[in-house]
Amino acid sequence: MTATETTFNFPHSILSAHRQRFRRLLPAIGLLLLGLLAWEAVVIIFRIEGFLLPKPSVIGATFQDQFLVVLPAGLFTMREAVGGFAIGSVLGIGIALATARWTLISEGVMPFAIAVNSTPIIALAPIMNNWFGITNPFSKMSIVALIVFFPIMINTVRGLRQVDPDALELLRSYATNERTVLLKLRIPNALPYLFSALKIGSTLSVIGAIVSEYFGGTREALGVYISQQAALFHFAEAWSAIMVACFMGITFYLLVLIVERLVMPWHFALRAAEE
């Protein structure tokens, strides 16, 4: 190639990329250690009672102690979250694909979806408990499904419709049918939109499952455990459960992130280049 035209290449060495990423994590790790130390120190120095703010060391010990209770509860709730997430995203994507086909319908449905998306959907939890049974995990799954459904549907419709007009003209100049436009242009274009909704949905689904368990659920559930312990001012126990909840939420988020990378390698590299 001629020398005046520059190209941008992927980082040459994978090793240096890893090292760079590690260096980026350093401030966060340092802050965590510092924060934990400060927390412990403040509780000791100001003699704050355990029911107001437990020490990190106490929470750690309680976590070990309660491990065999908290972990199965976490897995139980995780199943509700993942189940609801799956149902909500399949429905959201499906309906987005169906309505994007007909502009008129999607124009009608969008304001409604946006309105519903601005309501506290969690308020429906007691109704779902009544419909499907308090102890039936599906009552929680349905709430989670509703919570993730709307952002996913709205974002997918946007992604399917907001295509570059030139890219559309290009395909039209090939005299393609709508199906080809959908497959070759609209769907790849919608993927980044979809994944940003899926990422938000992943953490929301864990929280949604836990909060909907507050309105009633089996004793095996993490949300029930948290609200019971918190009501008894057993905050060290509650915090051990919170740690499990955070861990699940973050893990789920990272899983979606990995899938995103696998599905859209181009997008990931593109963003890295823009940074």
CA 104 to chain centre: 31
Cα 185 to Cα 107, 149, 168: the distances in Å are 20, 23, 8
Per CB under 8 A, the list member of 69, 124, 182, 257 interacting with another protein is 124
Is 52 among the residues that bind another protein (CB under 8 A)? Answer: yes
160 binds another protein (CB under 8 A): no
**Which three-class secondary structure state does DSSP give residue 97?**
helix
Output the smallest distance, CB 86 to another protein, in A: 18
Question: Interface residues for another protein in 180-209 (CB under 8 A)?
Answer: 180, 184-185, 188, 191, 203, 206-207
- Cα–Cα distance for residue pair 206/248, rounded to 1 Å: 7
Count of chain residues binding another protein (CB under 8 A): 86
- 47 scored as a contact of another protein (CB under 8 A): no
Place of tokens 């963003």: 271
Classified as helix, coil or strand, 41 is helix
Cα gap 98→57, rounded to integer Å: 53
Min separation Cβ 255 and another protein, Å: 13
Identity (one letter) of the amino acid at 111? P
**Piece in contact with another protein (CB under 8 A), picked from 12-20, 26-34, 64-72, 87-95:** 26-34
C-alpha–C-alpha distance, residues 168 and 40, integer Å:
59
Stretch that binds another protein, among 12-20, 57-65, 67-75, 233-241 (CB under 8 A): 233-241
Among 17, 38, 75, 170, binds another protein (CB under 8 A): 170
Q: Which stretch binds another protein (CB under 8 A): 37-45, 55-63, 86-94, 129-137?
A: 129-137
Q: Is 102 in the site for another protein (CB under 8 A)?
A: no
**What residue has token string 């057993």?**
234
